[in-house]
C-alpha cells in the first residue's frame, strides 16, 4: 500500500487513523517562507466541515518500514513498531479519505518547533538545560524543519483557538524577538478555527497523559478530518491505549531557545558534531 487512493473506496472503523513518521533523513535548514507561507489563508476550503471543494492530486505516502512506525521522532520518548501496525494505517486512510490529507491541524508543539531559534540555524550551543543541549545536537544531526515543511507543502493549515491561545502565552513568556516575529508571520497564514473536538476525542477519560487541552486540540483536528501535526507522542499513545487513534504526523520536539542563548556556550565550528 503506497497510494491513499487505493484505500479510499473501502469502509473503515470509526476509530482508525493514519500516522506519518518524520523520522527520515534531514537536510539543511530552510526558510519557512518558501513553503509555509504559500498557504492562502483566505481560501482555506470548507474547514468547518473538513471537506475540500476541489479534490487534490493523489499524494504518495511512504513509511519507515513494513511495521510502522520504526520510532516516534521525539526527544522525550520512543514508540515501538508494534504500537501502530500497517493495518491501522490502511484503515486510517479510509477513515480520513485522500481528499482530507490536504488539511493539517497544528498542535502547540508544532507551532513552537516551526518558529524556534534552534530550528532556524541557532543550534550550535551548549545550554545550561540538558534537554535544550540534546535538542540542539539532534538539530545539528537531523534538522526537523525540512521534513515538516515538505509535508506541509501545498496543504491548508489550521489551528484551533485553544492551541493558539496557549501558544501565545508560551511565546510571551519564553519567546525571543525573532521567534515572536516568525510566530506572527506564521499565524497570519493559518486558519484559526473554533474549538470543536469530536465526540470520540471528548469521551476519552482525563488522566495524567490525556489532558483536557490535548483532547480539544486533537479532537478538533479529528472533527475536521485533518492530520494533526504534533510532537506530543505521549498523548497519541495514551489515546490509542483507550481505543482511539488519531490521524497524526509526529515530529521531533523543539523548544523556544532564543532567550536561552544568553546563558549558553557557543560551540566552535571546528568542534561541531
Query: What pLDDT digit, counting tens, does each position of 145-154 carry?
Result: 999 999 999 9
For CA atoms 239, 241, 247, 249, the dihedral sign is positive
Question: Higher model confidence: residue 133 or residue 76?
Answer: 133
- Render pLDDT for 4-63 as a digit per residue (tens, 0 to 9): 333 333 333 333 334 444 443 333 333 444 433 333 333 333 343 333 333 333 332 222
Distance CA 19, CA 39 (A): 22
pLDDT at 269: 73
Distance CA 127, CA 138 (A): 13
The 3-state DSSP class for residue 265 equals: strand
Backbone phi and psi for residue 106, each to the nearest 5 degrees, phi listed first: -90, 120
The 3-state DSSP class for residue 17 equals: coil
pLDDT at 208: 87
* Residues constituting the chain: 273
pLDDT at 95: 54
Distance CA 42, CA 65 (A): 38
Report residue 268's pLDDT band, with 50, 70 and 90 as the boundaries.
confident
Q: Which residue has the cell 496557549?
A: 166
Which set of grid coordinates corresponds to residue 66?
513494513
Distance CA 223, CA 50 (A): 7
Distance CA 111, CA 227 (A): 15
pLDDT at 174: 97
| 77-to-70, 232, 234 alpha-carbon distances in Å | 13, 9, 8
Largest CA distance in the chain: 56
pLDDT at 221: 96
Question: Higher model confidence: residue 4 or residue 65?
Answer: 4
Distance CA 138, CA 80 (A): 20
Distance CA 82, CA 100 (A): 26
pLDDT at 245: 87
pLDDT at 272: 60
pLDDT at 101: 73
Architecture, CATH, for domain 18-41+63-267: 3-Layer(aba) Sandwich (3.40)
DSSP tag of 158: E
pLDDT at 102: 83
- Whether pLDDT at 125 is above 60: yes
C-beta separation of 247 from 86 below 8 A: no
- Render pLDDT for 156-214 as a digit per residue (tens, 0 to 9): 999 999 999 999 999 999 999 999 999 999 999 999 999 999 999 999 999 988 999 99
pLDDT at 157: 96
Long-range CB contacts for residues 211-214, cutoff 8 Å, separation at least 24 = 211/235, 213/162, 213/166
pLDDT at 52: 32
Distance CA 139, CA 17 (A): 29
- Render pLDDT for 81-120 as a digit per residue (tens, 0 to 9): 233 433 444 444 455 555 557 899 999 999 999 999 999 9
pLDDT at 55: 32
Residues 6+ apart with CB under 8 A from 263: 127, 128
- Render pLDDT for 222-244 as a digit per residue (tens, 0 to 9): 999 999 999 999 999 999 999 99
pLDDT at 271: 66
- Whether pLDDT at 253 is above 50: yes
Amino acid at each position: 500500500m503506497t497510494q491513499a487512493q487505493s484505500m479510499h473506496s473501502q469502509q473503515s472503523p470509526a476509530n482508525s487513523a493514519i500516522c506519518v513518521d518524520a523520522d527520515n533523513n534531514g537536510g539543511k535548514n530552510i526558510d519557512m517562507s518558501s513553503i509555509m507561507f504559500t498557504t492562502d489563508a483566505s481560501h482555506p476550503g470548507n474547514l468547518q466541515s473538513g471537506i475540500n471543494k476541489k479534490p487534490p492530486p493523489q499524494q504518495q505516502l511512504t513509511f519507515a518500514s513494513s511495521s510502522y512506525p520504526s520510532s516516534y521522532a521525539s526527544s522525550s520518548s520512543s514508540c515501538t513498531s508494534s504500537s501502530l501496525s500497517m493495518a491501522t494505517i490502511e484503515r486510517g486512510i479510509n477513515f480520513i479519505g485522500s481528499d482530507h490529507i490536504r488539511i493539517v491541524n497544528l498542535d502547540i508543539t508544532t507551532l513552537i518547533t516551526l518558529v524556534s531559534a534552534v530550528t532556524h540555524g541557532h543550534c550550535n550551543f551548549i545550554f545550561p538545560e540538558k534537554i535544550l543541549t540534546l535538542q540542539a545536537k539532534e538539530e545539528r544531526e537531523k534538522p526537523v524543519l525540512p521534513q515538516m515543511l515538505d509535508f506541509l507543502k501545498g496543504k491548508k493549515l489550521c489551528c484551533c483557538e485553544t492551541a493558539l491561545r496557549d501558544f501565545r502565552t508560551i511565546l510571551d513568556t519564553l519567546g525571543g524577538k525573532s521567534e515572536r516575529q516568525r510566530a506572527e508571520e506564521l499565524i497570519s497564514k493559518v486558519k484559526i478555527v473554533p474549538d470543536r473536538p469530536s465526540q470520540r476525542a471528548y469521551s476519552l477519560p482525563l488522566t495524567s497523559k490525556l489532558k483536557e487541552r490535548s483532547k480539544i486540540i486533537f479532537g478538533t483536528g479529528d472533527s475536521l478530518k485533518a492530520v494533526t501535526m504534533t510532537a506530543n507522542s505521549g498523548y497519541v499513545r495514551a489515546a490509542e491505549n483507550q481505543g482511539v487513534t488519531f490521524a497524526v504526523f509526529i515530529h521531533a520536539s523543539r523548544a523556544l531557545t532564543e532567550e536561552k542563548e544568553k546563558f549558553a556556550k557557543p560551540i566552535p565550528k571546528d568542534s561541531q558534531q
